[in-house]
Amino acid sequence: MIPTTHVDDATMARLTAGMLLEIGAVHFNATEPFTLASGLPSPTYIDCRKLISYPRIRATLMDFLTAKVLRDAGFEAFTNIAGGETAGIPFAALVAERMGLPMTYVRKKPKGYGRNARIEGVMGDSDRVLLVEDLTTDGGSKLSFVDAIRATGAACAHTAVIFYYGIFPETTKTLGDHGVALHHLCTWRDVLAEARRREAFDAATLTDVEAFLDDPRAWQAARG
Of the listed ranges 58-62, 101-105, 115-119, the least confidently predicted one is 115-119
* 50 inside domain: yes
Q: Are strands 128-136 and 80-84 parallel, antiparallel or unpaired?
A: parallel
* 3 inside domain: no
* 14 inside domain: yes
Q: Which domain holds residue 115?
A: 9-222
CATH of the domain at 189: 3.40.50.2020
Q: What are phi and psi of 115, to 5 degrees?
A: -80, -10
pLDDT band for position 136 (cuts 50, 70, 90): very high
pLDDT band for position 138 (cuts 50, 70, 90): confident
* 59 inside domain: yes
- Whole-number average pLDDT of the chain: 93
Average pLDDT over residues 57-80: 97
pTM (predicted TM-score): 0.94
pLDDT at 111 over 80: no
**How many domains are there within the chain?**
1
Percent of the chain with pLDDT over 90: 79
Average pLDDT over residues 14-36: 94
CA–CA distance, 11 with 25 (Å, rounded to integer): 19
pLDDT band for position 209 (cuts 50, 70, 90): very high
pLDDT at 8 over 90: yes
Say if residues 109 and 84 touch (Cβ distance below 8 Å).
no
Average pLDDT over residues 46-75: 97
* 123 inside domain: yes
Amino acid 44: pLDDT: 95
* 157 inside domain: yes
Average pLDDT over residues 23-40: 88
* 2 inside domain: no
Three-state secondary structure readout of the chain: CCCCCCCCHHHHHHHHHHHHHHCCCEEECCCCCEECCCCCEECEEECHHHHHHCHHHHHHHHHHHHHHHHHHHCCCCCCEEEEECCCHHHHHHHHHHHHCCCEEEECCCCCCCCCCCCEECCCCCCCEEEEEEEEECCCHHHHHHHHHHHCCCCEEEEEEEEEECCCCCHHHHHHHHCCCEEEEEEEHHHHHHHHHHHCCCCHHHHHHHHHHHHCHHHHHHHCC
* 4 inside domain: no
